[in-house]
Structure 1
Amino acid sequence: MNSSNSMAIDHEVIPFSSNAGKKALRYLPKWTIYGTIGIVVLIVVGILKTLLPLAAMSLILCLIWKQARNY
């Protein structure tokens, strides 16, 4: 098979001693970024839904305790 007829791709090679590839940015697909943000939002909402009622109940119990000790 003749090399001029083949469909080979000639890749560019950056030598290890070169600094050309060190400033290259990594590409992240948009769906991974949006998915990560969505999961973080769900986790934060879940934590807040758990902690806010507990904090409110503890404040109410402290108020009731103070009122009960005054009598």
Structure 2
Amino acid sequence: MTKQDHEINNSKDRGQGVVKVMGKYLIRTRYQVTKIYQLKSRPQGVPLRVRKMLKSAQAIDEFNQDGV
């Protein structure tokens, strides 16, 4: 558990009304972290897609040269 989880649990036990806001903040933060990880992993797949596009473009060029 993170520090925020402990704070939320302690506040909940004391009956403070801030728990709902803290919970929403925690969920929002976790979502943003996952989103950052997803965005970081995207550039790793770009070279593969570029190579695939180049191969396709070369195949189209060869077809056009042979067909004409």
Q: So what's the TM-score if we normalise by structure 1?
A: 0.48
Q: So what's the TM-score if we normalise by structure 2?
A: 0.49
RCO higher in 1 or 2 (8 Å CA, sep ≥ 6)? Answer: 2
Determine which structure has the larger helix proportion and give its number. Answer: 2
Greater radius of gyration (CA): 1
